[in-house]
Amino acid sequence: MAAAAVTSNGGAAAANGGPAPGRLASVYSEVQTNRLLHALPLPSVLRSSFAIVDGPASSAAGSPDEIAKLFPNLFGQPSASLVPSAQPLPTRPLKVGVVLSGGQAPGGHNVICGIFDYLQEFAKGSTLYGFKGGPAGIMKCKYAELTSDYVYPYRNQGGFDMICSGRDKIETPEQFKQAEDTANKLDLDGLVVIGGDDSNTNACLLGEYFRSRNMKTRVIGCPKTIDGDLKCKEVPTSFGFDTACKIYSEMIGNVMTDARSTGKYYHFVRLMGRAASHITLECALQTHPNAALIGEEVAAKKQTLKNVTDNITDIICKRADLGYNYGVILIPEGLIDFIPEVQKLIAELNEILAHDVVDEAGTWKSKLQPESRALFDFLPKTIQEQLMLERDPHGNVQVAKIETEKMLITMVETELEKRKAEGKYPANFRGQAHFFGYEGRCGLPTNFDSSYCYALGYGSGALLQSGKTGLITSVGNLAAPVEEWTVGGTALTSLMDVERRHGKFKPVIKKAMVELDGAPFKKFASMRDEWAIKNRYISPGPIQFSGPGSNDSNHTLMLELGAQA
């Protein structure tokens, strides 16, 4: 409970009153202070001198010819691995920039700390610049020089507030030129871009551009997103996923205990993850809910909203027969994006709302296709209104604003009333809606995310020092203790495919979706019938930073690595 101001000379002490950058004047809780002092283990290869070994030439995730054309200088680069070596990398001071791009993820600060410490250790006299507010900071040359005092208070702390983040993209020729000017002005040897799939694609385009301009500035990416949808064989996970899932799972576990104690509520919990349902799947594996909807499965089975509703209703009825009138159901926030008929309805609505008058009497509805009309009428009134009223600046329906968990509660309620009238459901349904979102993406990083990010930062420094560009830092062998983790880099172009947009090929790193034949989903699928009916709830409790379990990562990662059955 004791709170103290933070200083750079060893944790909490009275602030000295002088101007303090960033968090230096902040007041820290005991847990924050304790985390500040938490020592970060490093993979053993980073603890003494190493060399970098290249693998074979790489290709692309798809359309290699197109990717080769888009990245003439970078396509085909080999993967790089750090290996112990008596002969250290040639050491000289570097000027390096770092930028945080997109939504926050626990551990981002540790990537920066890792780069900083790497440069201090292996390239003495180096300078690290933090671009402020995301890629816009690069374009506007808005930055802070990251000193030991500046960086210190952020060790093992959540958030992105050391330099903040942003969602701008470097896209137009003018913007690339601005980035070039900044790199030249700061005389940058390297730039580390910490971001998700889009940001890493952007990082690679920037690396290609710098190379084409014969600039010395190298670009390295780092895999960040709590959604867990940026990963591949060599990059086993994105940072932040572990912490966010553990925070959500703690709360889900608490809600389960509540459900079991009260015996009268069905809790519908919406979780982050617009594109992929990894978070929902991981939280299900951690907590054993009565149902968890996986968007990818809904899409693969071409389920309708009625199917989804019926599946939940069936479970509720079965449980009622067993005397259980409570439960917990997990829902990914992107669910309705996976339902084809909903997409169709929304496209039609956008068209109608853009061109037609929406009359009170509802004659406008006759413009909907019959299936869409039927679906619209099937939706709860509040959702119909939301679809009509909540529009983005372009006049489009804001799917993101739809509270899917409340929608499902209303639809399940309606279906249960019908069944009750038919004598098929003897109980009373009471739904409770939850959304666990913001509170998860800014928590204090777990030991796993703290160590993983620190290694990513160190690795990024090593790749830049060895002159690499266009790689994403890859830290592997994550089922082993930190000492045995591998460190290297993977060609960003090898993760890419192309998409045709406005008649042009655009490179994209495909989001890693939940694989229905992957180990995490298969484990879930093998257990869910039991979880549905029996009460197998697990309460993971709060994240513990010491003691048993504190160094474990997550089920998804361990199952994918084959380290868990």
Active-site position among 189, 227, 242, 337: 227
180 lines the binding site for a second copy (CB under 8 A): no
> Residue 542 CB, nearest distance to a second copy (Å)?
3
Query: Rounded to an integer, what distance in angstroms lies between the CA atom of residue 471 and that of residue 77?
Result: 8
392 lines the binding site for a second copy (CB under 8 A): no
Query: Rounded to an integer, what distance in angstroms lies between the CA atom of residue 232 and that of residue 197?
Result: 11
553 lines the binding site for a second copy (CB under 8 A): yes
Q: Identify which range of 31-39, 142-150, 272-280, 464-472 contacts a second copy by CB under 8 A.
A: 31-39
Out of 219, 444, 509, 512, point to the residue binding a second copy (CB under 8 A): 444
Q: Which helix (H) or strand (E) holds 8?
A: none
Q: Which two tokens stand for residue 289?
A: 């809910």
> Can you tell me which residue has the tokens 């069905």?
266
> Residue 489 CB, nearest distance to a second copy (Å)?
27
Query: Rounded to an integer, what distance in angstroms lies between the CA atom of residue 522 and that of residue 284?
Result: 12
> Residue 544 CB, nearest distance to a second copy (Å)?
6
Cβ–Cβ under 8 Å, residues 397 and 353: yes
Nearer to a second copy, 15 or 51 (CB): 15
> Residue 153 CB, nearest distance to a second copy (Å)?
12
> Residue 73 CB, nearest distance to a second copy (Å)?
34
442 lines the binding site for a second copy (CB under 8 A): yes
441 lines the binding site for a second copy (CB under 8 A): yes
The angle subtended at Cα 393 by Cα 388 and Cα 397, nearest 5°, is 30
88 lines the binding site for a second copy (CB under 8 A): no
> Can you tell me which residue has the tokens 């995301």?
134
Out of 203, 251, 456, 519, point to the residue binding a second copy (CB under 8 A): 251
> Residue 385 CB, nearest distance to a second copy (Å)?
10
392 in active site = no
257 lines the binding site for a second copy (CB under 8 A): yes
Out of 149, 258, 314, 497, point to the residue binding a second copy (CB under 8 A): 258
159 lines the binding site for a second copy (CB under 8 A): yes
Out of 254, 304, 350, 384, point to the residue binding a second copy (CB under 8 A): 254
Q: Which two tokens stand for residue 212?
A: 């084409």
> Residue 515 CB, nearest distance to a second copy (Å)?
21
264 is annotated as contributing to ligand binding? yes
Q: Where are the alpha helices (DSSP H) in 435-484?
A: 438-441, 447-465
Query: Rounded to an integer, what distance in angstroms lies between the CA atom of residue 434 and that of residue 239?
Result: 25
Chain length of the chain: 565
Nearer to a second copy, 255 or 298 (CB): 255
260 lines the binding site for a second copy (CB under 8 A): yes
First-to-last alpha carbon distance for the chain, in angstroms, is 40
Q: Cβ neighbours of residue 403 under 8 Å, at least 6 residues apart?
A: 270, 386, 433, 435
253 lines the binding site for a second copy (CB under 8 A): yes
Q: Which two tokens stand for residue 457?
A: 């930062």
Nearer to a second copy, 190 or 431 (CB): 431
Out of 87, 547, 562, 565, point to the residue binding a second copy (CB under 8 A): 547
Nearer to a second copy, 125 or 549 (CB): 549
384 lines the binding site for a second copy (CB under 8 A): no
Bridge partners, residue 54, by sequence: 80
303 lines the binding site for a second copy (CB under 8 A): no
443 lines the binding site for a second copy (CB under 8 A): yes
Closest-CA residue to 110 (of 560, 473, 562, 533): 473
Cβ–Cβ under 8 Å, residues 267 and 435: no
Query: Rounded to an integer, what distance in angstroms lies between the CA atom of residue 245 and that of residue 34?
Result: 22
237 lines the binding site for a second copy (CB under 8 A): no
Q: Identify which range of 83-91, 421-429, 498-506, 541-549 contacts a second copy by CB under 8 A.
A: 541-549
By the 10 Å C-beta count (0-12 exposed, 13-18 middle, 19+ buried), 381 is classed as: exposed
434 lines the binding site for a second copy (CB under 8 A): yes
Strand arrangement, sheet containing 266-271: 291-292, 327-332, 266-271, 431-436
10 lines the binding site for a second copy (CB under 8 A): no
Out of 362, 438, 501, 526, point to the residue binding a second copy (CB under 8 A): 438
32 lines the binding site for a second copy (CB under 8 A): yes
Q: Identify which range of 66-74, 408-416, 423-431, 554-562 contacts a second copy by CB under 8 A.
A: 554-562
Query: Rounded to an integer, what distance in angstroms lies between the CA atom of residue 380 and that of residue 402?
Result: 12
Q: Cα separations (Å) of 564 from 29, 519, 561?
A: 35, 9, 8
Q: Cα separations (Å) of 405 from 138, 228, 311, 550?
A: 39, 22, 15, 32
Distance of CA 246 to the CA centre of its chain: 13
440 is annotated as contributing to ligand binding? yes
Bin 502: left if φ > 0, else alpha if -120 < ψ < 50, else beta: left
Closest-CA residue to 52 (of 25, 29, 77, 22): 77
Query: Rounded to an integer, what distance in angstroms lies between the CA atom of residue 12 and that of residue 118?
Result: 25
Q: Identify which range of 329-337, 357-365, 473-481, 549-557 contacts a second copy by CB under 8 A.
A: 549-557
Print burial letters for 420-444: b (CB count within 10 Å at least 16), e (below 16).
beeeebebebebbbbbbeeebbbbb
250 lines the binding site for a second copy (CB under 8 A): yes
438 is annotated as contributing to ligand binding? yes
Nearer to a second copy, 236 or 440 (CB): 440
What sign has the CA pseudo-torsion 436, 277, 170, 111? positive
Q: Which residues are annotated as a binding site?
A: 103, 197, 225-227, 264-265, 272-274, 333, 438-441
Q: Which residues are catalytic?
A: 227
Which residues in this chain contact a second copy in the complex, by CB under 8 A? 1-3, 26-35, 104, 133, 157-161, 164-165, 247, 250-251, 253-255, 257-258, 260-263, 267, 286, 288, 432, 434, 438-444, 535-549, 552-555, 558, 564
Q: Which residues are annotated as a binding site for substrate?
A: 225-227, 264-265, 272-274, 333, 438-441
